[in-house]
A and B are shown apart, each in its own frame.
Chain A
Amino acid sequence: MAIGVQRATQQLTMADLKGRVDPDWCPGCGDFGVLAAVQKALVELRIPNHNVVTISGIGCSSNFPGYMNTYGMHTLHGRALAVATGLKLANHELTVLVTGGDGDGFGIGGNHFVHSMRRNVDLLYIVMDNQIYGLTTGQTSPTSRVGMKTKSMPFGNIEAPVNPISLALAAGATFVARGFSGEQKHLTELIKQGIEHPGFSFLDVFSPCVTYNHDNTYQWFRPRVKKLEDDSAYDPADWKAAMENSLVWGEEIPIGKFFERTDVPTLHGAEPVLNEGPLVRCDPRVPLDVARSFIEELM
């Protein structure tokens, strides 16, 4: 089974979690709200910051680890989940947060996204989904709507967008949620739940790009988002209901926890090699009697 999240002995503050430099995001960027919510969640969960590793790919939102005072890895475009999987398996006592954008996660990193979910790697994956490529100055992304005009598709996008929530449900993610950068308290709560969930937690966050996406703005989202938590009849254990709700998109767009199950073993929990504790603390030497048996097989 998963080892529980490690708690700090002393209370951390928001200031303790602030990185060495300030974010270089555009004023008004949705990512500010996500950063604040992540820091608040870590404070509230009392997780010591040296036991947290924030891992990202490349893109505007992937600058995230540098703005956090946790261990961080700013990896390659699309590869954060693969790096995070290796890191988690080598030391499963670390709390692993993976952050990135829709291009990073659903475009170039799409393969790792699908496979990380079916593996049920124990980490929280936050996608700051702005439905556009920002750092490359405004091209169509895998979540851009049909018809959206960008520099790469000036006559309008003709490709259907990916539905991250349905995809995550189909790929076997054991925690699937959607947040909105404009709903801080709600988002913080989802992040806390995602960190505590034993297994792969996927959190897609509407994080508007104020510079390049003039379609999906705060003003566009605000009247549309509807919290699943407000519907007392909604049961996040019901996968079919989650799938049905994942397809709802229009005048109303559901946010909140779509789905969670905790009965699937995590990747590190399923591998007996880790029964003795994290690999990083194991003796690197193969015991000599075991080594001898390896050689005897060949004789």
Chain B
Amino acid sequence: MKQTFAIGIGGAAGQGVATPGDIFAKIFSRRGLHLNAYNAYQSIIRGGHTLLTIRTGTEKVTNMGDRIDLLIPLNQDTMDRHLKLLSAGAACIYNADTIKPGPADDDVQLCPLPVSELADISRNKVAQNTLAIGAGLHMMGIGFPALEEVLREQFKKKGEAVVAENVAVARAGYDYAAAHFRAFPNPLSRTENRYAILSGNTAMAMGGAAAGVKFYCAYPMSPSTGVLHWMAAHARKAGIMVRQVEDEIGVINMAIGAAHAGVRAMCATSGGGFALMSEGLGMSAMIETPVVVINCQRAGPSTGVPTKTEQGDLWQMLGAAFGDYPRIIAAPLDIGDCFKLIPEIFNLADRFQCPGLVLCDLLLSEGRLSVHPQDLDFSPSIDRGELITSANGNGTPSAAATNGDYKRYKITDNGISPRAIPGVPGHIHTVATDEHMEDGVLISDEFTNPVKRRAMMEKRMRKVTGIEAAVPPPVLSGARTADVTLIGWGSTMGVIEEASEILNEQGISTNQLQIRWLVPLHGEAILEILKDSRHTIIVENNYSGQFARYLRSETSFVPDGHIRKYDGEPFMPHHIVEAVKEQLAGKTQWAGKTQVSVPMHEIMV
């Protein structure tokens, strides 16, 4: 097993959970450590319960893991919820003045801080937090200067007096721990690596900037709003027009308008907003103007659980907009992939002049991960496809076209028709959401014509063949044959990987098939991979097995079992490990022929 160390910091919203989290994250990343952070929070600005888990280690940390090594409860409620879940070797640092510990495992070290003795709490309202950071750092075997450096940056804007006060408080906590608490047996390592720490939302926004997005618009909606925030904050430096629009219907239509003028345009939302965009997606497909839409899934249906994660929008995505039309749907596999996927999907959307849909989720959108800076490549290939931006037509065969013979929807073998943008002389045309002929003239109203309708339908749908060829089929990771093949899609990659490692260590060999491209799916390739599998289990974060049903509809494949979770929280490795073992032992409930496990989320957040 990889060596990792996880800190849990919990309290009410507004109590300052984020700041200690940021401080620990900075210290870890500057020691050259990887990290993964997940914040379990609620849709409330003040109050409630928030638990931030930061897990660090020398190797890539793909998920929040199963264990908290250090718990820092900022209030009694957090102590009551989480102390009992700590296991041997863990520690809990808390304010002894205000918080009482409850029952705990014998081998959990309780570390009470006499906060009012160590700091002037009338002056410093968050003294308990700063003391705990200092104490915790000592127990992890990290020297004080690392903390002092970060605190200086954190409070620089507030002046030297505030910096000095916070450094002194942190120092008091650090020294108190040296005198009173047992350090963890393995001090945190240090490497020469340096990582960028970012959320999936930041990654997708930056990926958009790298892809050459010039127009971004959105309506605020959790958990997608982080994309808007990054875009808005960096718009002027990056040369991106960013607009907040009156609703998601306006968002998709505005993005399509900008895209039609010739720039790359992107927007992000969550399930409810995506529902409003459905008709607009159909327009993108019908007028053949590419647009990229990100859906950061949250727990549905309806308003659902705005701050909780789910993979419940797959069928909404598959069914979005009426009629048949070509499109691309992809689910990023981790936060680094959130960046990388955006330029890739823009190239496809531009080449095939159709919508590109990104199916992300709260786990990636709002989680944070260490990513190697080289993986944030701002020089990806940019392929705008057959775009005519000047009267000379960019050297495309239609370059010499006069207005007389330019046909926006020219029927071609691959279904792709050269796209002239408004303003180019000699290429005037009208695009229409009504069915139209090669020159854009409507065949929906006065001149309906079944032959022409069929020809245009087939022209558009021929693009599907090209898209399939341009998108790689999924690959199996691990040995060709194994006791169990775990199948997942999108954000579950990391947790399935770790569960697989644990199972392998326990003598159950596993391999993993993780799906990134949902449309096109490459069903034949998937069947070819799965034909050698001894026992297949589909793992997904929803109630009905949306991917399992999709895979079945495309391939007739039925797995041996399912592991599903729809409580709003992400999978932890042990959820998958235990469910796999149960299913192999035939202990789980039967639903028809396949077994379904629904792991219980033990942490109350």
A residues with CB within 8 A of B: 19-21, 24, 48-51, 53-55, 58, 63, 65-66, 68-76, 79, 82-91, 93-94, 111-112, 114-115, 271-274, 276, 279-280, 282-286, 288, 290-291, 293-295, 298-299
Docked Cα-Cα span, A298 to B211, in Å, equals 19
Docked Cα-Cα span, A65 to B260, in Å, equals 15
**B239 close to A50 (CB less than 8 A):** no
Question: With a CB–CB cut-off of 8 A, which chain B residues contact A288?
Answer: 378-379
- Expressed in whole angstroms, the minimum distance between the Cβ of A238 and any Cβ of chain B is 29
B residues with CB within 8 A of A: 29, 194-198, 202, 206, 209-212, 214-215, 217, 234-241, 243, 245-247, 249-250, 253-265, 279-280, 283, 287, 373, 376, 378-379, 382, 389, 421-434, 439-442, 445-447
**A66 close to B430 (CB less than 8 A):** yes
- Expressed in whole angstroms, the minimum distance between the Cβ of B88 and any Cβ of chain A is 35
**A87 close to B422 (CB less than 8 A):** yes
Closest B-chain residue to A89, C-beta based?
B241
**B241 close to A82 (CB less than 8 A):** no
**A74 close to B254 (CB less than 8 A):** no
Docked Cα-Cα span, A286 to B434, in Å, equals 37
**A71 close to B422 (CB less than 8 A):** yes
Docked Cα-Cα span, A25 to B446, in Å, equals 10
- Expressed in whole angstroms, the minimum distance between the Cβ of A291 and any Cβ of chain B is 4
Interface of B is mostly: mixed
Contact with A70, one of B237, B428, B442 (Cβ below 8 angstroms)? B428
**B280 close to A295 (CB less than 8 A):** no
The 9 A-B pairs with the shortest beta carbon distances in the complex, nearest first, are A284-B212, A86-B257, A72-B430, A90-B261, A291-B378, A82-B253, A86-B258, A86-B254, A83-B257
Given A89-B215, A91-B422, A284-B214: A21 in contact with B441 (beta carbons within 8 A): yes
Question: With a CB–CB cut-off of 8 A, which chain A residues contact B260?
Answer: 73, 83, 86-87, 90
Closest A-chain residue to B210, C-beta based?
A286
Given A82-B245, A91-B262, A295-B373: A273 in contact with B431 (beta carbons within 8 A): no
Contact with A299, one of B250, B373, B425 (Cβ below 8 angstroms)? B373
Question: With a CB–CB cut-off of 8 A, which chain A residues contact B215?
Answer: 86, 89-90, 279
Question: With a CB–CB cut-off of 8 A, which chain B residues contact A85?
Answer: 243, 254, 257
Contact with B214, one of A19, A94, A279, A290 (Cβ below 8 angstroms)? A279
**A115 close to B246 (CB less than 8 A):** yes
**A19 close to B254 (CB less than 8 A):** no
New A-B pairs, 14, CB < 8 Å, besides A114-B246, A273-B235: A50-B426, A53-B422, A66-B430, A71-B429, A72-B430, A74-B442, A75-B256, A86-B254, A90-B262, A91-B261, A91-B421, A111-B246, A112-B253, A280-B261
- Expressed in whole angstroms, the minimum distance between the Cβ of A287 and any Cβ of chain B is 9
**B432 close to A273 (CB less than 8 A):** no
**A58 close to B433 (CB less than 8 A):** yes
Question: With a CB–CB cut-off of 8 A, which chain A residues contact B261?
Answer: 86-88, 90-91, 94, 279-280
Closest A-chain residue to B209, C-beta based?
A286
Docked Cα-Cα span, A67 to B261, in Å, equals 21
- Expressed in whole angstroms, the minimum distance between the Cβ of B598 and any Cβ of chain A is 37
**A90 close to B240 (CB less than 8 A):** no
Question: With a CB–CB cut-off of 8 A, which chain A residues contact B257?
Answer: 55, 73, 82-88, 90
**B428 close to A86 (CB less than 8 A):** no
**B279 close to A76 (CB less than 8 A):** yes
**A279 close to B424 (CB less than 8 A):** no
Docked Cα-Cα span, A129 to B439, in Å, equals 29
Question: With a CB–CB cut-off of 8 A, which chain A residues contact B429?
Answer: 71-72
Contact with A82, one of B29, B194, B249, B378 (Cβ below 8 angstroms)? B249
Given A76-B280, A299-B373: A115 in contact with B423 (beta carbons within 8 A): no
- Expressed in whole angstroms, the minimum distance between the Cβ of B563 and any Cβ of chain A is 33
Closest B-chain residue to A74, C-beta based?
B432
Contact with A285, one of B236, B254, B379, B427 (Cβ below 8 angstroms)? B379
Instruction: Pick from A274, A276, A298 the residue with the most CB of B within 10 Å.
Output: A298
Docked Cα-Cα span, A78 to B216, in Å, equals 21
Docked Cα-Cα span, A88 to B425, in Å, equals 18
Question: With a CB–CB cut-off of 8 A, which chain B residues contact A24?
Answer: 445-446
30 interchain pairs (CB within 8 A)? Answer: A21-B441, A24-B445, A50-B422, A50-B424, A50-B428, A58-B433, A66-B430, A71-B423, A71-B430, A72-B440, A73-B257, A74-B430, A76-B283, A79-B283, A83-B257, A83-B260, A86-B265, A90-B214, A90-B215, A90-B262, A115-B246, A279-B214, A279-B215, A279-B258, A282-B239, A286-B238, A288-B378, A288-B379, A290-B237, A299-B194
Contact with B254, one of A69, A82, A114, A272 (Cβ below 8 angstroms)? A82
Question: With a CB–CB cut-off of 8 A, which chain B residues contact A19?
Answer: 430
Question: With a CB–CB cut-off of 8 A, which chain B residues contact A65?
Answer: 430, 432
Question: With a CB–CB cut-off of 8 A, which chain A residues contact B433?
Answer: 58, 74-76
Question: With a CB–CB cut-off of 8 A, which chain B residues contact A71?
Answer: 422-423, 428-430
Contact with A279, one of B263, B279, B428, B431 (Cβ below 8 angstroms)? B263
Docked Cα-Cα span, A111 to B447, in Å, equals 33
Closest A-chain residue to B213, C-beta based?
A284
Given A83-B254, A86-B217, A115-B246: A20 in contact with B439 (beta carbons within 8 A): yes
Closest A-chain residue to B446, C-beta based?
A24
Given A285-B379, A286-B210: A112 in contact with B423 (beta carbons within 8 A): no
**B421 close to A280 (CB less than 8 A):** yes
Given A20-B439, A76-B280: A86 in contact with B431 (beta carbons within 8 A): no
Given A20-B441, A94-B422: A284 in contact with B256 (beta carbons within 8 A): no
**B280 close to A79 (CB less than 8 A):** yes
Docked Cα-Cα span, A236 to B440, in Å, equals 41
Question: With a CB–CB cut-off of 8 A, which chain B residues contact A82?
Answer: 245, 249-250, 253-254, 257
Instruction: Pick from B211, B235, B258, B280 the residue with the most CB of A within 10 Å.
Output: B258
**B250 close to A115 (CB less than 8 A):** yes
- Expressed in whole angstroms, the minimum distance between the Cβ of A8 and any Cβ of chain B is 11
**A90 close to B265 (CB less than 8 A):** yes
Question: With a CB–CB cut-off of 8 A, which chain A residues contact B373?
Answer: 295, 299
- Expressed in whole angstroms, the minimum distance between the Cβ of A233 and any Cβ of chain B is 38
Closest A-chain residue to B246, C-beta based?
A115
Docked Cα-Cα span, A288 to B256, in Å, equals 28
Docked Cα-Cα span, A88 to B433, in Å, equals 20
Given A111-B246, A286-B209, A295-B196: A75 in contact with B283 (beta carbons within 8 A): yes
Contact with A274, one of B241, B389, B428 (Cβ below 8 angstroms)? B241
Question: With a CB–CB cut-off of 8 A, which chain A residues contact B446?
Answer: 21, 24
Question: With a CB–CB cut-off of 8 A, which chain A residues contact B239?
Answer: 273, 276, 279, 282-283, 286
Docked Cα-Cα span, A19 to B429, in Å, equals 9
Question: With a CB–CB cut-off of 8 A, which chain A residues contact B378?
Answer: 285-286, 288, 291, 294
Question: With a CB–CB cut-off of 8 A, which chain A residues contact B447?
Answer: 21
Contact with B423, one of A91, A284, A285, A291 (Cβ below 8 angstroms)? A91
Closest A-chain residue to B214, C-beta based?
A279
Instruction: Pick from B389, B427, B433 the residue with the most CB of A within 10 Å.
Output: B433
- Expressed in whole angstroms, the minimum distance between the Cβ of B25 and any Cβ of chain A is 10
- Expressed in whole angstroms, the minimum distance between the Cβ of A289 and any Cβ of chain B is 10
Question: With a CB–CB cut-off of 8 A, which chain A residues contact B245?
Answer: 82, 115
Closest B-chain residue to A78, C-beta based?
B249
- Expressed in whole angstroms, the minimum distance between the Cβ of A16 and any Cβ of chain B is 10
Question: With a CB–CB cut-off of 8 A, which chain B residues contact A272?
Answer: 236
**B246 close to A285 (CB less than 8 A):** no
Question: With a CB–CB cut-off of 8 A, which chain A residues contact B263?
Answer: 90, 279-280, 284
Docked Cα-Cα span, A90 to B85, in Å, equals 54
Docked Cα-Cα span, A291 to B207, in Å, equals 11
Docked Cα-Cα span, A163 to B243, in Å, equals 29
**B253 close to A76 (CB less than 8 A):** yes
- Expressed in whole angstroms, the minimum distance between the Cβ of A87 and any Cβ of chain B is 4
Instruction: Pick from B196, B202, B217, B257 the residue with the most CB of A within 10 Å.
Output: B257
- Expressed in whole angstroms, the minimum distance between the Cβ of A223 and any Cβ of chain B is 35
